[in-house]
Structure 1
Amino acid sequence: MKILAISGSARRNSTNTAMLRAVSAVAPSEIEIAIFDGVGDLPVFSPDLEGKFLPAAVRDFVDLIAQSDGVIIASPEYVRSIPGGLKNAIDWLVSGEQIVHKPIALLHASHRGDDMLAGLRIILATITDRFAGDIFLRLPLMKLEPPEVFQAVETPENRSRVQAYLQAFSAYCAAADQIVIGPPS
């Protein structure tokens, strides 16, 4: 199972990015996690740049989505909302087909951020018919430095929670892959 984990933060020492790296390190062997931490490197979305004018960074991002069996998004909350970089990344996906039937789940690194999560859930349920809203894990890691995030995720309790989350999402992706999309026969 190939999972793409997207960090919604453009910060170099992001807690969310560190959490995704730590989650990848404790993932069951049958789950391969690639991490995308480049939302800050994507150009500002413009419909004029779609199609044959698609910037290389965006094309690479879209290819990562297409090659994955599912997507996990971890994001901070900025001013009770979705960070601009993550919203921009999502905007680049809206008119393409790669995200429409892609399973997506959320992972959260804070005890707060419910306003951002609510907004993100609405957006994700709009762009894909396979948003796994019930598959969710919250780890209270806010304000920890990356090495501390790894230590927190590697505790037996959190490792078990992370593995159960990943296995649930992997099963969801496998089941979603069996669904045939198209007109009734």
Structure 2
Amino acid sequence: MTVTAQRVLCLCGSLRRVSSNRAALEAARQLAAPTLELVLYEGLGALPLFSPDDDVDPLPPVVLALREAVGRADALLIACPEYAHGLPGAFKNLLDWLVGSLELPGKPVLLLNTAARGSYHAQEALAEILTTMSAQLLASQPLPVALPGAGCTAAQVLASAERCAELRAALDVLADALPVA
């Protein structure tokens, strides 16, 4: 019997080229078991500013691509920084484009918190927004992956046994929540 990998769309809330959130997601992709296919979404910076007037057919192509990527995913893995006690504007914009979509409701979502110093304002806001959007949060709190901050790379994450253990724990939560196909 062939087991099909469950597709997990990884959403990074940072536009920074060298981002600890992106590093955590890239490291998770390398650590994932063959039953999980982690795919990193790359279109955050290309999304137009959300306007309800533009949330009609035909959708902007980059928005359609986002919604299709979410629709193809069996789950979402999100790593998002906190800026001034809130979500980065670009990531909130991404979420706004998904509010009116049919792809997100009921979708299993796992949140990672990569802030070593316990950033929680944005994490609480993100959980509230996703709950309002009818996503299925897989953990009551974001799972910690205590990275040193900006400028961290996937190689640095993978070099730490503690960070790898934290990421494997998160991947276990995803694997346990998704049915084997």
TM-score surpassing 0.5?
yes
TM-score category by the smaller chain? 0.7 to 0.9
Give yes or no for the alignment of 1:97 onto 2:131.
no
Provide the rounded CA distance (Å) in 1 between the counterparts of 2:54 and 2:71. Answer: 19
The TM-score, its normalising length taken from structure 2, stands at 0.88
From 148, 155, 176, the equivalent of 1:142 is 148
Provide the rounded CA distance (Å) in 2 between the counterparts of 1:87 and 1:161. Answer: 26
How far residue 151 of structure 1 moved from its aligned partner, in angstroms, is 2.5
Provide the rounded CA distance (Å) in 2 between the counterparts of 1:57 and 1:106. Answer: 24
Could you tell me whether the CA contact under 8 Å between 2:23 and 2:157 is conserved in 1? Answer: no
Provide the rounded CA distance (Å) in 1 between the counterparts of 2:34 and 2:28. Answer: 12
Tell me, which stretches of 5 or more residues in structure 1 are unaligned?
A: 178-185
- What is the RMSD computed on CA atoms of the aligned residues? 2.0
Provide the rounded CA distance (Å) in 2 between the counterparts of 1:136 and 1:66. Answer: 23
Identity %: 29
Could you tell me whether the CA contact under 8 Å between 1:70 and 1:102 is conserved in 2? Answer: yes
Partner of 1:22: 27
Is the deviation greater in 98-107 or in 162-171?
162-171
Partner of 1:123: 129
Tell me, which stretches of 5 or more residues in structure 2 are unaligned?
A: 1-5
How far residue 135 of structure 1 moved from its aligned partner, in angstroms, is 6.4
Provide the rounded CA distance (Å) in 2 between the counterparts of 1:136 and 1:117. Answer: 7
How far residue 144 of structure 1 moved from its aligned partner, in angstroms, is 5.1
Could you tell me whether the CA contact under 8 Å between 1:28 and 1:163 is conserved in 2? Answer: no
Could you tell me whether the CA contact under 8 Å between 1:73 and 1:107 is conserved in 2? Answer: yes
How far residue 162 of structure 1 moved from its aligned partner, in angstroms, is 1.6
How many residue pairs get matched?
A: 175
Partner of 1:66: 71
Provide the rounded CA distance (Å) in 2 between the counterparts of 1:67 and 1:7. Answer: 17
The TM-score, its normalising length taken from structure 1, stands at 0.86
How far residue 129 of structure 1 moved from its aligned partner, in angstroms, is 4.5
Q: 1:168 to 1:143 in 2, by over 3 A?
A: closer
1:33-182 to structure 2, matched below 5 A, reads 33-111=38-116, 112-134=118-140, 136-143=142-149, 145-147=151-153, 149-174=154-179
Larger RCO (CA within 8 A; separation ≥ 6): 2
